[in-house]
Amino acid sequence: MSGEDGDQEEGAGLEPRELQSRALRGATWSSVSSILALPLAIAVSIVLARNLGPEGYARFAYLTFTVPLLISFSDLGFAHSINRAVSQAFASGDLERTRELLGKALGWNLLRLPFLCAFVLALARPSLLGAALVVAFLAISTGGAGLVFSLQAENRGAALAKVAFLGSVAVAVAAVAAALLGAEPTTVWAASFAAGALVAPAWLFASSPRLRRAALTPRLPLGLRGGFWRFAILALATTTGDLLVFSRSEVLILEALGEQQALAVFALAYGLSQRLTTPIDTLLGPLTTALSALRGAHPTRFRAGFERALRLSSVAVAFLAGAALVGTSLLAPLMYGESYAGVGLAFTALAAVSLIQSMAQPYTALAYASGTPGLLLRALGVALVADVVVAFALIPPLGLWGAVIANATGGFVALVLTIRAVAGPASLARAEVSVVQLAAVTLVSCATAYAAGIAGGALHAGIGALAAFAAGTAAFLSLAAAVGGLLPRADVEVVLRGMPRRLAFASRAAALVTRASSH
């Protein structure tokens, strides 16, 4: 992780081949670290849920959502815009401009630090120890932001992914330790929040010497030209809208209405639903992002790239639904305990929404690649209004299920509007995705998993969950083979080439079953 480029001489930006190589390494490490962190995150949620209880976990979940939202909003989109500007400057070989921007990034963060500390402390109201931890984290994270931007400028995604994984481990250990020691929920949150600062030395170690000093030397954030702030505000609006529509924003309304039990169950079910789609999102993220590059450099191949992404996302979602949806639903009550009644059924509903969102990733990428982020902003605005209206209308009478319905409403409205705005000729049919075939294979697999789960559950609930996982997976792969395969071999090879060798080897067995003879 140490200075991949620290020994390079100053000069022009990276060559295209090196950029592509670093992008591939970054995508691979992002996928691996996210998948490795998945069981850790689930284990942490189990420990916290059982030790804090529904009311305490509701408080923890509320702060976990609202504080990052507040931090992001207070940035006014600066991080998005400075990252774009510094990456362009470095890619063009303008190291002086790169250093200047990194200094201004640090200057901006130091200027907003006092206000940020005041806002976060007012929201969280932690103990004296918790307040000290929060202030320490904010000071270290804002002070080291320039180092992160320098790594992003050099396209050092692999280093960033490694540091992020270390950070997730530190946060998990701190949260579990605080909970087991009997700390109150706000202190547990503060401990996990502050633990993220422990990776600051890794940022310093990973950054290259030619940019490190500039990233640690503050400058006033003046003279930012070229539509800097216009892009920043647009990015802020889009990311905030996306966060409020596609995340667990209903916790804000549940908290305001005093629905602590419903908030705790909703937060657990939502978190588990997002972890279900982590394998898809980490592998498809780099693929869909590449559509922008295809649009600019190889427009004749853009449609083929979009259709491939759509095929991969559709089949991956179908597989996860058939193999893991029922088993996870049966396992959830065992993991979290009787205090969180309804978590399994709520997970099923939220997971269905999460799976559809993952399948639609290529359409969102298409909007960005086509240079029409305004379409996304309008879709998110309408969806957010629908989400809020449904939440306030249904949460008082329905509690948990009012939040679930509101979340599903916002997500579906945003997806439908986005797809209608950008799809045009880009459709499932033109991408040669057999919706009827996929739906049939998925539904039969889910039904098989459910039957196995009920049968095994007569012996023990855990046996039923394991039986559901095994039966759903076997049914999906068998049915996929029976219908002649669901993916062209070329599509499978694209995924395998971007995976570490061990994971690719494990995936080839499934690829042999799910491939099609031609495309």
209-236 average pLDDT score: 83
Share of the chain above pLDDT 70, in %: 78
Confidence of residue 500 (pLDDT cuts 50, 70, 90): low
Which pLDDT does position 314 carry in this prediction?
A: 84
User: What distance in Å separates the CA atoms of residue 138 and residue 110, rounded to the nearest whole number?
Assistant: 10
At residue 265, does pLDDT exceed 90? Answer: yes
88-105: pLDDT as tens digits: 778 677 788 888 888 899
158-205: pLDDT as tens digits: 677 778 888 888 989 999 999 999 899 999 999 999 988 888 888 878
Q: pTM for the whole thing?
A: 0.81
Contact 416, 439 (CB under 8 A): no
Nearest to 431 by CA among 517, 309, 317: 309
At residue 7, does pLDDT exceed 90? Answer: no
3-state secondary structure of 192: helix
Please report which helix (H) or strand (E) contains residue 515, including its range: strand 515-516
407-435: pLDDT as tens digits: 999 988 988 887 877 765 555 656 566 77
Which pLDDT does position 504 carry in this prediction?
A: 53
At residue 26, does pLDDT exceed 70? Answer: no
Residue 96: CA count within 13 A, CB half-sphere: 0
Contact 223, 163 (CB under 8 A): no
450-467: pLDDT as tens digits: 999 999 999 998 999 999
333-380: pLDDT as tens digits: 999 988 898 999 999 999 998 898 888 877 777 766 665 567 778 888
Confidence of residue 505 (pLDDT cuts 50, 70, 90): low
Which pLDDT does position 429 carry in this prediction?
A: 57
